[in-house]
């Protein structure tokens, strides 16, 4: 029970405020706000996983895996811990073991199902003009790119995939489709990374690859900046490279023209 009280205290303490301060300091030192939020995420991740380990250790614990904790919201997790504490204090049976495993199982199943489906390039009407510099430079979204993505299904057999010229140079190699952190280990020396989007946690893999292609991103996206730092050819903001290119296919990346050719 002491462990549960500690867990509840973590969720209500000033720890998260402290982490937020660290995040702001990181943001000031780094190139973008994402670095600050990432610092916050890394530090708070340890706290949350610790809570996930504490709850199963309780006699009435209900997480088969400590990481199941991430399938509950902040408020749900507090409710689950209060339930166990209340049951201990008044000698009744907690409701959580009958309730939360079903919720976690439903959310896991939903995530697996969502992963099986392709998402549309755009939802709702496309704006006539997209002139927000952040949207263009960070995400590579322009009216022209949206039109190209929306019409790409008609050119599924084409040999070229076009995007933003993010980092100059030409390279050929095997494409490695990576859609999640779990798949990063599949990358081999000399592969060309083909992904939906990258973030700062992916930076170390740029030492292994010879080029990069992404579905999402503009000239100032993470993939574009890191590719330039490593001198790797890169094309970002293609919209559909991960669906047009097959894993293991040999491709040519022309980072100066923003063109990926399927060989």
Of the candidates 3, 45, 43, the one whose C-alpha atom is nearest the C-alpha of residue 23 is: 43
Residue 117 designated active-site: no
Sign of CA dihedral 125, 127, 133, 136: positive
Straight-line distance from the first to the last Cα atom of the chain, in angstroms, rounded to the nearest whole number = 62
Specify the 3-state DSSP secondary structure of 64. coil
Catalytic residue among 2, 71, 74, 222: 222
- Distances in whole angstroms, Cα of residue 229 to Cα of each of 102, 154, 198, 222, 250: 46, 35, 15, 11, 24
**Residues in Cβ contact with 143 at an 8 Å cutoff, skipping those fewer than 6 apart:** 126, 127, 128, 129, 130
Q: What residues are labeled active site?
A: 222
């Amino acid at each position: 029970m002491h462990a549960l009280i500690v867990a509840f205290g973590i969720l209500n303490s000033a720890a998260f405020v402290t982490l937020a301060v660290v995040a702001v300091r990181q943001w000031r030192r780094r190139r973008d706000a994402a670095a600050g939020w990432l610092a916050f995420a890394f530090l708070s991740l340890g706290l949350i996983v610790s809570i996930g380990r504490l709850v199963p250790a309780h006699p009435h614990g209900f997480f088969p895996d400590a990481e199941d904790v991430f399938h509950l919201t902040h408020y749900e997790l507090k409710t689950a811990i209060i339930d166990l504490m209340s049951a201990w204090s008044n000698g009744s049976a907690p409701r959580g073991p009958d309730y939360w495993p079903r919720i976690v199982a439903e959310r896991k199943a939903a995530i697996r199902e969502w992963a099986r489906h392709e998402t549309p390039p755009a939802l709702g009407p496309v704006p006539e003009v997209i002139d927000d510099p952040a949207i263009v430079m960070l995400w590579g979204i322009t009216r022209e790119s949206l039109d190209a993505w929306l019409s790409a299904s008609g050119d599924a057999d084409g040999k070229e995939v076009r995007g933003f010229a993010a980092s100059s140079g030409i390279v050929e190699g095997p494409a490695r489709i990576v859609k999640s952190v779990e798949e990063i280990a599949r990358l081999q020396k000399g592969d060309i990374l083909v992904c939906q989007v990258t973030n700062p946690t992916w930076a170390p893999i740029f030492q292994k690859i010879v080029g990069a292609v992404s579905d999402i991103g503009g000239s100032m996206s993470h993939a574009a900046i890191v590719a330039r730092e490593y001198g790797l050819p890169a094309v970002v903001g293609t919209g559909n490279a991960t669906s047009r290119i097959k894993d293991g296919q040999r491709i040519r990346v022309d980072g100066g023209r923003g063109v990926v050719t399927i060989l």
